[in-house]
Amino acid sequence: CGRQPGSIVGVSNHIWQIKRQEIMKWNGWGYSDSRFFFNKKGQAEFTGRRYRLSGLIIPGLKDWFESTFGASLQHKTPATVSPILNSSAVQPPTLNEAFVEELKSTGIPLSHDAEDRVFRAHGHCLHEIFALREGKFGRVPDMVVWPNCHNDVVKIVELACKHNVCLIPYGGGTSVSSALECPPEETRSIVSLDTSQMNRILWIDEKNLTAHVEAGIVGQDLERLLNESGYCTGHEPDSMEFSSLGGWVATRASGMKKNVYGNIEDLVVHVKMVTPQGVIEKSCQGPRMSTGPDVHHFIMGSEGTLGVVTEVTMKIRPMPEYQKYGSVVFPNFEQGVACLREVARQRCAPASIRLMDNEQFKFGHALKPQVSSIFTSFLDGLKKFYITKFKGFDPNRLCVATLLFEGDREKVLQHEKQVYDIAAKFGGLAAGEDNGQRGYMLTFVIAYLRDLGMDYYVIGESFETSVPWDRVLDICRNVKARIIRECKDKGVQFSPLSTCRVTQTYDAGACVYFYFAFNYRGLSDPVHVYEQVEHAAREEILANGGSLSHHHGVGKLRKEWMRDTISKVGMGMLKSVKDYVDPNNIFGNRNLL
């Protein structure tokens, strides 16, 4: 079994370059060398060498794609300005000369090159990527700076305050909440503060099992470097290839294996943040304190509105001895949810447990790479026969849970048995390690698939929520149905893909992910339609007792609901913190409030 998180093979040894666009797409997801395309035979292929799926042919994808969306390989919508950015289309920078002069004297690298600025002007919301593909640029940062350490950040923030310059911290750029969008009404010079050069592990404390890390480090590097010393943090958000530690702290991130390691708020022991009022940090590293409201909670989830997180002390764990994937097929989604609920009740959730609905199960199926031997395909056929014919599962209703166990070998096997026993009570059948592993691999390639869809009139996105257990089924059904109804009402000509999965379990509820995509042929303003539908879906989530966000954050995309979410007094509390910490709105990305 591969021990590399998420089956990333051949992790490069690169330390992130200042010019990230040299290895990453500027108008799509991920690495430039990795992408899906339909080859001359009409079969889908995934390029590059980075992923398990790389270089493989995916025979089922075309049919699934065409039948699910009513799309056709004949109808292409390639990005209009690919792949090289045309700098002349970008507005010239508004520079604060005095600020630039003083900053230059500090020797901190900076740039006002159009490519650098555009790359840091967006996250990965659909409308952001769609606009880039069409070569449309709104307000972009006027300058990018690359501090190398905490003290650099202190200097930058001081200068920004002195010269009244707007700072927008930039970590991995994987935001899906419009958090990185420059407010169009901002008239000051906007400086993107790229933390990527602050990427060192400063020390590891094996006695206390903590590591002190610079906040710009990217997830996969953090794990890789810790692994070299035999440790891990176990924090693996889906975006971990690109997202940064500082970004996790600033958005209250959640990792796939939180059941063993906890979410970011459980992992953080100490944080250092540079604000316009100075540096905020605690004086000791005590594991828990009763010292009034935890100031870490002003930092976590502040979404870059208060300052820049520069250094974090995190819990680490010895690397797990043994990892095992698994999967369970349930006759229907209801049974699957009931099983997850029971697992949560008994507090025996594996490191990760995710339940995909029927549509997503079919999608996962369509992404099976070409099988190499007749024997495997024979086995697959046999499995399918057993489940649908012998066990009587309806292929249009069954759903699958993927599992990941971690720990020492014996305990993993024991744990596995416990979980499978519970599953059996809910009609679940063990469906093999392979299916489970493929499920987790898809997490990393699914974002690439959106780019493929966008080449063929299909746009889509995912969004998430958290919800009490008794509401899980209702919210899944209602939100999916609402998406379908809204698409119809908004004139979408083809039935959309509207699917969900339960991705995390808690004592009192679960995290639910929705995926939604549709073929926009015949629509004059597909992005607007998309946004209306997503808006309606969010309203539906809230009406069904779901939260505004489980871990994506609020950004600017979901700001309008904040007041209802945390009450007027709650808003006042947050506002007064902002007013004290940053009275001149230096950190002016206007997220959250």
Partner 1 sequence: MASEAVYTHRDPMLKKRDDFEDILEERRNSSDLRYALRCYIPVLYKELTPCKASELKSMVLQSDQLRYVINQVCKETGMAADEVQAEAAAILEEMAHRLQLSTIRFFAFTLSKVFKTLFRSICVNEEGIQRLQQAIHEHPVVLLPSHRSYMDFLLMSYILYTYDLALPVIAAGMDFMAMKFVGEMLRMSGAFFIRRSFGGDKLYWAVFSEYVKTMLKNGFAPVEFFLEGTRSRTCKSLTPKLGLLNIVMDPFLKGEVFDVSLVPVSISYERILEEALYARELLGVPKPKESTSGLFKARKVLSEDYGSIHVYFGQPVSVRSLAQNRVDRCQFNLIPRHIPRKPGEDIHSFVNDSAYRLVRAQEENMVLKPWVLLASLLLQNHHQMQVAEQKQEMALDELTEQAVWLRDLSRQYGAFLHWPDHVSPSEAVSSSLSLHRGLVRISEGRVQLAFEQAGGQTRPGEPCSTVTPEEELLNQAVIILSCASYRNQALHIFLRPALLASAIHTASSSNKQEVYNSFSFLRNMFSNEFILCPGATVQDFEEACYLLVKTGALQINQQEFVVTERGHRTLGFLTRMLDPFLQGYQVVCRFLCEDATEGLTEKQFVPAVRKFIIRHILTGRLRYTEVLSSDLQKNSLAALLRLGAVQKLKGGEEQGTLKVNKVMVNSLEDTLGGKLPTQKAVVARL
Binding site feature residues for substrate: 450
Phi-psi region of 532 (alpha: psi -120 to 50; beta: other; left: phi over 0): alpha
183 Cβ contact list (under 8 Å, min separation 6): 139, 556, 588, 589, 590
CB of 485 to partner 1, least distance (A): 8
d(CA 118, CA 26): 8
CB 557 within 8 A of CB 177: yes
Pick between residue 317 and residue 471 the one whose CB is nearest to partner 1.
471
Alpha-carbon distance of 222 to 227, in angstroms, equals 8
Instruction: Let me know: does 360 contact 439? Beta carbons within 8 Å.
Output: no
In angstroms, the Cα distances linking 295 to 300, 301, 570 are: 9, 12, 16
Three-state secondary-structure class, residue 274:
strand
Q: Give 266 or 474: the residue with its C-beta nearer to partner 1.
A: 474
C-alpha to C-alpha distance for 83 and 24, rounded to whole angstroms? 11
- Inter-CA distances, 77 with 27, 134, 533, Å: 14, 10, 22
Q: How far is the CB of 517 from partner 1 (least distance, A)?
A: 20
Catalog residues that contact partner 1 under the rule CB under 8 A. 470-471, 474-475, 477-478, 481-482, 542-545, 564
Give the pairing of strands 210-214 and 308-315.
antiparallel
Query: Contact at 8 Å (CB) between 99 and 105?
Result: no
Task: Name the minimum Å distance from CB 543 to partner 1.
Answer: 4
Q: How far apart are CA 362 and CA 571, in angstroms?
A: 43
Triad 260, 264, 270: Cα angle to 5°: 115
Q: Among this protein's residues, is 513 annotated catalytic?
A: yes
The alpha helices in 494-543, defined as continuous H runs, are 526-543
Around 359, how many Cα atoms within 13 Å sit in the side-chain half-sphere?
17
Tell me the binding residues for FAD.
169-175, 251-254, 303-309
Shortest distance, position 366 Cβ to partner 1, whole Å: 24
Choose between 270 and 477: whose C-beta lies nearer to partner 1: 477
- Which member of 457, 513, 515, 520 is catalytic? 513
Is 322 exposed, middle or buried, given 0-12, 13-18 or 19+ CB atoms closer than 10 A? middle
Minimum CB–partner distance for residue 61 and partner 1 (Å): 28
CB of 474 to partner 1, least distance (A): 5
Q: Which residues are catalytic?
A: 513
